[in-house]
Structure 1
Amino acid sequence: MDSTPRGNRLHIAIFGRRNAGKSSLINALTDQDIAVVSNVPGTTTDPVYKAMELLPVGPVVIIDTAGIDDTGDLGQLRVQRSIDVLNKADLVLLVIDAGTGVTEFEEDIVRRCQEKKLPAIVVLNKIDTHPVTEQELADTKEKLGLEPVAVSALTKQGIGELKIAIVKNAPPSWDDQTIVGDLLNPGDLAVLVVPIDLAAPKGRLILPQVQTIRDILDHDAMAYVVKERELKECISTLNKKPKIVITDSQAFLKADADTPPDVLLTSFSILFARYKGDLETLVAGAKAIERLKPGDKVLIAEACTHHRMEDDIGTVKIPRWLRQIVGGELDFHWSSGHRFPADLSDFKLVVHCGACMINRREMLSRIMQVQQAGVPIVNYGVCIAYVQGILRRALSPFPMLQEMLDDVE
């Protein structure tokens, strides 16, 4: 992900008056000291671009700008250079010192953002020295027409809420990304393992399978679709080995046994963990499975509602596998559709579906909500691969995550 081109990154521009805490906010968001912080107004003189990972949002370019209230001839040049950044930004964070409130400078930036149809988030900073009241929040919203997020860049209070706001306010084009196409070259062959059982809808494939096929074709590669018992014969009769085998998670063990070791192997659910969420966080969460103890509270969350079959994956199979690992009973809870518990603090693990029925913003919001509660989260595909002992193999398309898994282990 470090090689993501700048043009494919979400560009987040930080605006505000001098000494509003813009550079400190960048450091708090990224959990790094990448911006120079000083009590002297005007430390940042020209826009500074920094390409990096903002977890769990993904690859971004953070743009630190000069104070919009800079003075003098040179100061006005700096302000204009900052204003020009609006032509490059995907999202604006307007930082306001909570102790000074809204001025004409902030109103001007909001007006410019509205003219450009550019999403913006108002950030009331320094609440560690000036705690804001509900009335102050309401007044800020009334003046600027935007819901403010109250934070302290110094103590990092409210930074989690700000990240959620970034995800929710990012432009629609931000989450346009591939499912598997970036792993394939034109002419490559992908074999898709699609079990046809009682849970399979009659006359059609499920949405992740259809979307994956379309993504393969969009990248000028080829797709073979087989049932699990036909995979071995399919590979043996091909003139060339496939680049990748993508399987339904429930057929992982069979697919692993029949896929040559020099062929990439993963599942639809793992691909969707990356496509719709944050695969790195979900892989890290898998280790929490080993720490579960009998009686622990586990949430199994699905983004849609559907008719459950006799051997349903979410209510029967995954609970059974987790009980086998724990060696005892667990306190399972379920949520489905748009219902997602507000209080997650009592859970020891959240197991989420592949999120094919919600967008990436909502899935990332859920992941961050779980993280704020201090609870590990994993998705169906990662969980199944882990409990079946083949997670490392299932991450073969992502060697960096294999290394991360080795470090965690």
Structure 2
Amino acid sequence: MNSTPRSNRVHIGIFGKTNAGKSSLINSVTGQNIALVSDVRGTTTDPVYKAMELLPIGPVVFIDTAGIDDESSLGALRIEKTEEILDKLDLAILVISSENILNGDISLEKKWVEKIQNRKKPIVFVINKTDLIENIEEFERKITLVEKELNLKSIQVSAEKKENIDNLKKEIVEKTPKSFMEDILIGDKIKRGDKILLVAPQDIQAPKGRLILPQVQVLRDILDFGGIPTMVTLENLQEALKIFKPDLVITDSQVFKQVDQVLSSEIPLTSFSIIMARAKGDLIKLYEGAKKIDELKNGDKVLIAEACTHHQLKGDIAREKIPLLLKKRVPGLIIENCSGKDYPKNLEEYSLVIHCGSCMLNRSETMSRIDKALSSKVEITNFGMAIAKLNGILDRVMEIFKD
């Protein structure tokens, strides 16, 4: 837990043809030999991730991808994996070598620019291998034509000679979405000195010897904004309430009902899952999606989606607790589960998607999953909001987020 998890890092993907110098570029930007460099075409196959610090952005992860012109027997699969990266990107770096600029064929790069822009991702356009240029005048003329065709301004570098890398870093910083400089979970909703009570059940699903990631992140955010956090298990909740009156209670969604029953209605209540929904996704769309539960009827299909894979234990929230609550209300529901990267493409078959808190996904991938559901005309919500709705306290747990 001492290092920033990948899901909280800015995701920067490097795209370009085979041997455009993508791996060399990552090595130059990071100052480390982290990506395999070779004269053999197609050295990079599966996407390669490397976490680092890039100031003033902070924690980032660079993703080195296979060549977009890979024509090997596995090329189609490799390019498919490269396309999957687009959903989790925050920033794309498109690399074209000086040789490709001079031969003038950029039709494939233009196609990928359109793919990236269709997902509304910012692009840094890099022309690499400037150390190999012999005819400067012809090269500059071709650059003008290429920039016009792609409608992108280029940064010209030599990754091999490490020339102009500092200017490339500045461009990366400039085009990184500014929201990453303002990563707030709940701190903007509390005042310095506020007493925040965190309820963290330590049941069979809690990892032994540590807290789960959302609990750690929320705890740190409260400390950063001057709040005074106290963490208790559900069993000690009433004892804590006898000692002090909290300004806000944040609980695990699984025990919403029990916490609400002992908590005064004047004390604001929300959950770690809802806070993560606010940070990673679209809080309003997920809130509206939870209301779809009122419209579910026998025969409707509901998808319960998790971002990570794990061994299911007794009382699993996705496999047992949420299905039990749903079927208590609508016995004839058809409930299906998916986990990890297996987010289905047939979303239009479902009446509702209930997604986890996305602590293992970054914001871009979470938003991509939300957008895929909505574009399939399917409402989507998350675990915390669904449980709150099923327990009749959805508006109560959302009250703190109203402007």
Q: Which amino acid aligns with 1:171?
A: T
Q: Counterparts of 1:144 and 1:340 in 2: how far apart (Å)?
A: 28
- Shift of the 120–302 alpha-carbon distance from structure 1 to 2, 3 Å rule, reads closer
Paired residues for 1:343-358 under 5 Å: 343-358=346-361
- Shift of the 323–243 alpha-carbon distance from structure 1 to 2, 3 Å rule, reads same
In structure 2, what is the equivalent of residue 235 of structure 1?
241
1:308 to 308, 312, 319: 312
SS at match of 1:283: helix
How many angstroms does 1:264 deviate by? Answer: 1.1
Q: What percent identity do the matched residue pairs reach?
A: 43
How many angstroms does 1:348 deviate by? Answer: 0.6
Q: Which amino acid aligns with 1:188?
A: D
Give yes or no for contact 1:141–1:147 (8 Å, CA) kept in 2. no
Q: Which amino acid aligns with 1:298?
A: V
Q: Which amino acid aligns with 1:316?
A: E
In structure 2, what is the equivalent of residue 186 of structure 1?
192
Task: Establish whether residue 285 from structure 1 lines up as the match of residue 285 from structure 2.
Answer: no
2:385 to 382, 403, 407: 382
Q: Counterparts of 2:111 and 2:323 in 1: how far apart (Å)?
A: 46
How many angstroms does 1:144 deviate by? Answer: 4.9
Give yes or no for contact 2:92–2:122 (8 Å, CA) kept in 1. no
Structure-1-length-normalised TM-score: 0.58
Give aligned pairs, total: 254
- Shift of the 318–167 alpha-carbon distance from structure 1 to 2, 3 Å rule, reads farther
Task: Establish whether residue 275 from structure 1 lines up as the match of residue 241 from structure 2.
Answer: no
SS at match of 2:337: strand
Q: Counterparts of 2:320 and 2:106 in 1: how far apart (Å)?
A: 49
1:165 to 120, 133, 140: 120
Paired residues for 1:29-44 under 5 Å: none
- Shift of the 335–165 alpha-carbon distance from structure 1 to 2, 3 Å rule, reads farther
Task: Establish whether residue 338 from structure 1 lines up as the match of residue 293 from structure 2.
Answer: no
Task: Establish whether residue 329 from structure 1 lines up as the match of residue 332 from structure 2.
Answer: yes
Q: Counterparts of 2:337 and 2:250 in 1: how far apart (Å)?
A: 28
Q: Which amino acid aligns with 1:398?
A: F
Q: Counterparts of 1:260 and 1:168 in 2: how far apart (Å)?
A: 50
In structure 2, what is the equivalent of residue 205 of structure 1?
211
The CA deviation string for residues 346-367 of structure 1, in whole angstroms up to 9 with x for no partner, is 1111000000011111000100
SS at match of 1:225: strand
2:231 to 197, 219, 225: 225
Q: Which runs of 5+ in 1 are unaligned?
A: 1-117, 123-138, 151-160, 401-409
- Shift of the 333–211 alpha-carbon distance from structure 1 to 2, 3 Å rule, reads same
Give yes or no for contact 1:193–1:245 (8 Å, CA) kept in 2. yes
Q: Counterparts of 2:336 and 2:247 in 1: how far apart (Å)?
A: 39
Q: Counterparts of 1:291 and 1:168 in 2: how far apart (Å)?
A: 42
Q: Counterparts of 2:341 and 2:269 in 1: how far apart (Å)?
A: 32
State the superposition RMSD in angstroms. Answer: 2.7
SS at match of 2:237: helix
Q: Which runs of 5+ in 2 are unaligned?
A: 1-89, 95-104, 125-174
The CA deviation string for residues 79-98 of structure 1, in whole angstroms up to 9 with x for no partner, is xxxxxxxxxxxxxxxxxxxx
Q: Which amino acid aligns with 1:230?
A: N
Q: Counterparts of 1:248 and 1:363 in 2: how far apart (Å)?
A: 20
